[in-house]
Amino acid sequence: MTTRHDDLIVIDGLIIAKWSRAVFADMRKGGLTAANCTCSVWEGFEATMRNIAQWKRFFRDNADLIMPVHSAADIARAKQAGRTGIVLGFQNVSAFEDQLGYIQLFKELGVGAVQMAYNTQNLVGTGCYESHDRGLSDFGREVVAEMNRVGMLCDLSHVGAATSRDVILASTKPVAYTHIAPAALKAHPRNKSDDEIRFIVEHGGFVGVTMFPPFLARGSAATVDDYLQAIEHVISVAGEDQVGIGTDFT
């Protein structure tokens, strides 16, 4: 018997975890076809490369559960193989350091999504907790162009409003808020206004809704209903075609 679940391609927009076989087994139980899995937040180039080397080991030791994703076709292959496809992702550009040339190296090693800033200012732009966001730096514009060239998604979830807008306009390919909640339901520096949600979607982008309780209407008292309400709100603003989930817990 084929259930709806068996037919679906289910992609988690962002997961951060203390990775282990138990986590990968849970991904299978949850029916995840693919997920954007964080392998760098504050780390520089070398520490991130060591994290990626560790992921190569995870792929080898858990080949019955997970497989690396280098392209959209690999997601279909993961579905077919009954394994969860892993898109490696960064939540910050710190691993790029000041080297545009590193971007292609990371892409070739399986990094498919990179957030342009994580809460604070960096070489590229500004995160959502900074006092002032003056948008993309000149280097940041080069980074967006290089990410476009190699085929790496720009994630804007933790990014400030001005930098997000600059990236949406500068990018020649669709970008994403992989894991956000709507500001209309809860005022919070990490949440996005209806205008921001509309703006990214109008430019072809994707919005993933996160269930992190502090971003939901009732904060730490939130239940799954609050999460559904957040999803419904984002869909009401953006339409359902470009909305999904991102189950990050940060």
Closest distance to a second copy from the beta carbon of 60 (Å):
9
Of the residues 10, 26, 43, 104, which one makes contact with a second copy according to CB under 8 A:
104
Q: Is 108 in the site for a second copy (CB under 8 A)?
A: yes
Q: Helices marked H in the chain — which ranges? A: 4-7, 21-29, 45-61, 72-81, 101-108, 138-150, 161-170, 194-202, 224-238
Q: Is 53 in the site for a second copy (CB under 8 A)?
A: yes
Q: Pick the closer one to a second copy by CB: 55 or 212.
A: 55
Q: Is 134 in the site for a second copy (CB under 8 A)?
A: no
Q: Is 101 in the site for a second copy (CB under 8 A)?
A: yes
Residues 247 and 222 sit within 8 Å (Cβ to Cβ): no
Is 181 exposed, middle or buried (CB count within 10 Å of its CB: 0-12, 13-18, 19+)?
A: buried
Distance CA(161)–CA(152), nearest Å, equals 21
Q: Is 56 in the site for a second copy (CB under 8 A)?
A: yes
Q: Is 49 in the site for a second copy (CB under 8 A)?
A: yes
Q: Pick the closer one to a second copy by CB: 109 or 184.
A: 109
Residue type, 116: M
Closest distance to a second copy from the beta carbon of 221 (Å):
43
Q: Is 72 in the site for a second copy (CB under 8 A)?
A: no
Of the residues 32, 34, 41, 52, which one makes contact with a second copy according to CB under 8 A:
52
Q: Is 102 in the site for a second copy (CB under 8 A)?
A: yes
Q: Is 129 in the site for a second copy (CB under 8 A)?
A: no
Distance CA(246)–CA(137), nearest Å, equals 27
Of the residues 109, 123, 170, 184, which one makes contact with a second copy according to CB under 8 A:
109
Largest CA distance in the chain: 55
Of the residues 30, 61, 63, 99, which one makes contact with a second copy according to CB under 8 A:
99
Q: Cα 49 from chain centroid?
A: 19
Give, for 85, the enclosing helix (H) or strand (E). Answer: strand 84-90
Q: Is 123 in the site for a second copy (CB under 8 A)?
A: no
Residues 88 and 37 sit within 8 Å (Cβ to Cβ): yes
Residues 87 and 114 sit within 8 Å (Cβ to Cβ): no
Give, for 116, the enclosing helix (H) or strand (E). Answer: none
Q: Pick the closer one to a second copy by CB: 150 or 184.
A: 150
Q: Which residues bind a second copy (CB under 8 A)?
A: 45-46, 49-50, 52-54, 56-57, 99, 101-102, 104-105, 108-109
